[in-house]
Amino acid sequence: MSVEVRPVSSRRDLTRFIKLPWRLYRNEPNWVPPLISERRQFLDREKNPFFRHAEAEYLLAWRDGEVVGRISAHIDRNFNEFQGNDWGLFGFFECDDDPEIARALLDAAAAWLRERGRDRMVGPMDFTTNDECGLLVEGHDHPPMILQGWHHPYYQGLLEGDGAGLTKAMDLYMWHLSLELVEDKGGFHPMIHEVAKKVETEHGVTVRSMRRRDINAEIERFLEVYNAAWERNWGFVPLEDDEVRHYAKQLKPILDENWAWVAERDGEVLGAALSLPDINLCLAHMNGRLFPFGWAKFLYHRRKIDRLRVFALGVKPEYQHTGVAAAFYIAHLERAKNNPITWGEMGWILETNEAMNRAMEGMGGRIVRRYRVYERPLQPA
């Protein structure tokens, strides 16, 4: 039977879009089901502040009356303005192991973007680099951490195969760091310790833990740094105030102030670091649902979390010479010594970011996952 790609046009279609991965990954122990309610809210054009500066089309591939794939095509006006381009984006790619389905989905997304004047299709991004992005191409033997995707190994062949029209745009590295590995190597590189010691004595910078009672303001401080520290990154788009508040609301239930820091001097925020306990260890037992027993499972398994993800760690560009990043690295090391959490992964780092990748090597890290972002030129119709 031929493949037909149609837009999501009803709540029932949106449910099909959200729940397709349950069929595709039903025999994959490393896949972690997301919360269905969270996915529905994330995709809701009325509830997600992303859509105040963006538009999207959700597409389903059908064959013989069955949904066999999905994809989104979306345009972020803020991204285009900030980066000075006319790109369109695709995301949420999932499908059966069939090149015909993959090509039909990609062609449909490309056509939608081309009709709206986009000259390039880039992805997968769900929806931007501030969210889950990239296709997992290395590291399938590890279950994903919070805010990471896990994809079938055959997806790489579908996206890089004949007819897909995609080529690699950028790889993103995920670095593994563990207290045991650091101790085996004799600790962090001595230079990291030396630089960290001078942060307060030579630069007058104080590094403190975030305060949960003031979490909304703390998240805003963090995102002030976030927008400044990553503005030169490939594919970056700043977050707006309403998106900041949205993120604060989403992160508040899982934020652990023991793993979040702010660097300040004379009342100014210079840097921030936010690491998140890996609640995927809980979600893996919940099958996408909070009720009727999901909350109980979440609370039970949360006590067993022994890992975290460094969601983001950054310093405003004008203060990157002060050693604040080194101070954050040491803060993580010291906190881990008296904590059930013994290892974690850094948020993705661009393959072109030599300074950060060298820093990870200096701390005894190793790359355990690689995500790939693709691009496809769009010729005028």
Provide the CATH number for the domain around residue 86.
3.40.630
Number of domains in the chain: 2
Q: How far apart are CA 140 and CA 131, in angstroms?
A: 20
Out of 43-57, 120-134, 242-256, which region has the weakest mean confidence (pLDDT)?
242-256
pLDDT at 51: 96
> Which has more pLDDT, 99 or 346?
99
Degrees (nearest 5) of the Cα angle 226, 228, 232?
Answer: 105
> Which has more pLDDT, 283 or 16?
16
Residue 186 has pLDDT above 80, yes or no: no
Task: Clarify whether residues 208 and 328 are in a common domain.
Answer: yes
Strands (E) in the chain, as ranges, are: 4-7, 54-63, 66-76, 87-95, 120-123, 125-126, 132-133, 135-138, 167-178, 206-209, 260-265, 268-277, 307-315, 343-346, 349-350, 366-377
CATH number, domain of 292, equals: 3.40.630.30
pLDDT at 1: 75
Span 353-364, mean pLDDT?
Answer: 86
Task: Clarify whether residues 187 and 307 are in a common domain.
Answer: yes
Q: How far apart are CA 262 and CA 212, in angstroms?
A: 12
Task: Clarify whether residues 352 and 220 are in a common domain.
Answer: yes
Task: Clarify whether residues 168 and 293 are in a common domain.
Answer: no
Residue 227, CB-side half-sphere exposure with 13 Å CA sphere: 15
Provide the pLDDT confidence category of residue 181 given band limits of 50, 70 and 90.
Answer: low
Task: Clarify whether residues 165 and 229 are in a common domain.
Answer: no
pLDDT at 172: 97
> Which has more pLDDT, 251 or 125?
125
Mean pLDDT, the chain, as a whole number? 90
Domain assignment of residue 132, given as a range: 4-172+373-377
> Which has more pLDDT, 306 or 17?
17
Q: CB burial class (10 A; 0-12, 13-18, 19+) of residue 84?
A: exposed
Q: How far apart are CA 204 and CA 363, in angstroms?
A: 25
Provide the pLDDT confidence category of residue 269 given band limits of 50, 70 and 90.
Answer: very high
Span 164-188, mean pLDDT?
Answer: 80
Task: Clarify whether residues 225 and 125 are in a common domain.
Answer: no
- 8 A C-beta contact, residue 223 and residue 247: yes
Provide the pLDDT confidence category of residue 256 given band limits of 50, 70 and 90.
Answer: confident
Span 246-267, mean pLDDT?
Answer: 84
Task: Clarify whether residues 205 and 129 are in a common domain.
Answer: no
Instruction: Provide the β-strand partners of residue 271.
Output: 263, 315
How confident is the model over 334-345, as pLDDT tens digits?
888 777 888 889
Q: What percent of the chain has pLDDT over 70?
A: 97
> Which has more pLDDT, 335 or 184?
335
Task: Clarify whether residues 260 and 117 are in a common domain.
Answer: no
pLDDT at 180: 65
Task: Clarify whether residues 215 and 128 are in a common domain.
Answer: no
Out of 73-87, 227-241, 293-307, which region has the weakest mean confidence (pLDDT)?
293-307
**pTM for this structure?**
0.91
How confident is the model over 281-307, as pLDDT tens digits?
889 888 988 877 777 888 888 888 888
pLDDT at 89: 98
Task: Clarify whether residues 157 and 275 are in a common domain.
Answer: no
Contacts of 161 (CB under 8 A, 6+ apart): 99, 102
pLDDT at 184: 52
pLDDT at 334: 82
Task: Clarify whether residues 120 and 189 are in a common domain.
Answer: no
